[in-house]
Chain A
Amino acid sequence: MDLTPLYLSAKLSLVSTAILLVLAMPLAALLVFVPFRGRFLADSLVNLPLVLPPTVLGFYLLIIMGPDGPVGRLWAGLWGGSIVFTFGGIVLAAMVHSLPFAVQPLKTAYEKIDPRLLEMADVLGASPISTFFRVILPNATSGIAASAILAFAHTMGEFGVILMIGGSIPGRTKVASIAIYEYVEAMRYREAALLSLILVVISYSILLMVNMLGKRGSRHA
């Protein structure tokens, strides 16, 4: 059995989770700690991928990332060629689709931080950025870990959005979930079962980790 789709899924999950975390940590802080006009709208927008059908999300991403879309034009200007049907394209699509899974645990962790710690940092002369790195992040480690694990797990199982943006190019965009779909289409049930079993084991292990983190977090609270 060809394990390339599994490797590609793991690579996609790792890359998109790493970039997503860097973006989600300040974004969640903005949504929790900074009162601004339209915060409610921004919060709902971040959660939109949770309720949208992947095909709808994929369709809009395809338009934005297409040759006439803003992201497509930017990509072409920077690196030339099209972002659609590339690994970079599916990384971006996976990041958008997993955004709420990364932001939500961080928001929950940030909301649990004693507000007096932030006031104390303020009185002690720390700037908001210094407070973010020296107080908020060290007190949200369980949330950061949960965010990484959930975003990774969600991307491992990604199907619809990846198919819309990346198609199914072997070695480039054909991830495990798409490979399973194609095995079933081709009635190659043995390969489909094996690949599915591997994904089940990975997903279950990840959920166990999230539960363990949750228990540790509540013990420390």
Chain B
Amino acid sequence: MLDVHIVKQRGHVRIDISFSCEEGRLLALTGPSGCGKTTIIRTLAGLERPDSGYISFKQRDWYNSTKQIFLPARRRKVGYVFQEHTLFPHLTVRNNIGFACRDEQRVTELLELLRIRHLEDSSPRQISGGERQRAALAQALASDPEVLLLDEPFSALDSLTRNRLRGELSNLKNRLEIPIILVTHDLEEARQLADHHICLEQGSVISCTQKSRKSFIPVPITALPA
């Protein structure tokens, strides 16, 4: 279980949020631009430090302001897909995926899982946005992450590719059995993929819903684990 309580002042926005996410569940954070979504996901990755609060995974502190603990990003074992599907430009697709994974067999499996085996020797400059997104996802998964963080992974894609990749992510979720945090500004995407959906405005939670069979039911904000 990933347990989070983050307080962080960023410009004029004060982020104050608490949530939990279990293994095999996908939690979506939505909200308008500038509401603090990306900052939250960056603090989970260890790329930014909150002002106070805690982040713990399986009872292990990643960050705790009271105990003065801050685990650097490289020791958190998270997979992070950046908004722009960043890949190392000097490496081929295969070597990008293998950056954090020396097991060639595992890299080949991921290339096949995400249907980019035919691109393994291509440079990131030579492939399309959808292919880059798949490669970025494979790269994030190659290190066997314990938590997967996705920052607007489909925002730069056309609607056809977006729909196809959403389906792939939905299948992946069932196979991975790790907490997945998805940041998106697309409410439809959040409804389609998420088990829990938190809507933010100006850094604070304004609504929280949980998937129940085919629909989402509201959960009181005060009922969020903190």
Residues of A within 8 A of B (CB): 114, 116-117, 119-127, 134-135, 138-139
Q: Which residues of B contact A127 (CB under 8 A)?
A: 74
Q: Are A120 and B88 in contact (CB under 8 A)?
A: yes
Interface membership of B130, Cβ < 8 A: no
Interface membership of B220, Cβ < 8 A: no
Closest to A128 in B: B74
Pull 11 A–B residue pairs with CB atoms less than 8 Å apart, ordered by A.
A116-B86, A117-B88, A119-B47, A122-B46, A123-B45, A125-B75, A125-B143, A126-B74, A127-B74, A135-B88, A138-B90
Q: Which residues of B contact A125 (CB under 8 A)?
A: 74-75, 77, 100, 143
Closest to B101 in A: A124
Q: Give the distance in Å from the alpha carbon of A135 to the alpha carbon of B100 in the complex.
A: 12
Q: Mark B72-105, 1 if CB is under 8 A from A, else 0.
A: 1111111110101010111000000001100000
Interface membership of B139, Cβ < 8 A: yes
Closest to A140 in B: B90
Q: Are A117 and B86 in contact (CB under 8 A)?
A: yes
Q: Which residues of A contact B46 (CB under 8 A)?
A: 122-123
Q: Give the distance in Å from the alpha carbon of A11 to the alpha carbon of B46 in the complex.
A: 48
Q: Mark B117-147, 1 if CB is under 8 A from A, else 0.
A: 0000000000000000000000100010000
Which one of B46, B73, B75, B84 has the highest number of Cβ atoms from chain A below 10 Å of its Cβ? B73
Could you say which of B72, B77, B86, B139 contacts A122, with CB atoms under 8 Å apart?
Answer: B72
Q: Which residues of A contact B79 (CB under 8 A)?
A: 123
Q: Which residues of A contact B86 (CB under 8 A)?
A: 114, 116-117, 120
Could you say which of A114, A116, A117, A122 contacts B74, with CB atoms under 8 Å apart?
Answer: A122
For chain B, the bracket of interface size reads 20 to 34
CB distance from A158 to the nearest CB of B (A): 34
Q: Are A120 and B74 in contact (CB under 8 A)?
A: no
Q: Which residues of A contact B88 (CB under 8 A)?
A: 117, 120, 135, 139
Q: Mark B136-173, 1 if CB is under 8 A from A, else 0.
A: 00010001000000000000000000000000000000
17-73 of chain B: CB within 8 A of chain A: 45-47, 72-73
Q: Give the distance in Å from the alpha carbon of A121 to the alpha carbon of B88 in the complex.
A: 9
Q: Are A124 and B139 in contact (CB under 8 A)?
A: yes
Q: Which residues of B contact A117 (CB under 8 A)?
A: 86, 88-89
Q: Give the distance in Å from the alpha carbon of A38 to the alpha carbon of B98 in the complex.
A: 38
Which one of A116, A119, A121, A138 has the highest number of Cβ atoms from chain B below 10 Å of its Cβ? A119
Q: Give the distance in Å from the alpha carbon of A117 to the alpha carbon of B82 in the complex.
A: 10
CB distance from B193 to the nearest CB of A (A): 22
CB distance from A194 to the nearest CB of B (A): 44
Q: Are A123 and B89 in contact (CB under 8 A)?
A: no
The 6 lowest CB-CB distance pairs between A and B, nearest first, are A124-B100, A138-B90, A122-B73, A123-B80, A116-B86, A125-B74
Q: Which residues of A contact B90 (CB under 8 A)?
A: 138-139
Q: Give the distance in Å from the alpha carbon of A117 to the alpha carbon of B84 in the complex.
A: 11
Q: Which residues of B contact A135 (CB under 8 A)?
A: 88
Q: Give the distance in Å from the alpha carbon of A121 to the alpha carbon of B90 in the complex.
A: 13
Q: Which residues of A contact B84 (CB under 8 A)?
A: 116
Q: Give the distance in Å from the alpha carbon of A119 to the alpha carbon of B143 in the complex.
A: 15
Q: Which residues of A contact B143 (CB under 8 A)?
A: 124-125
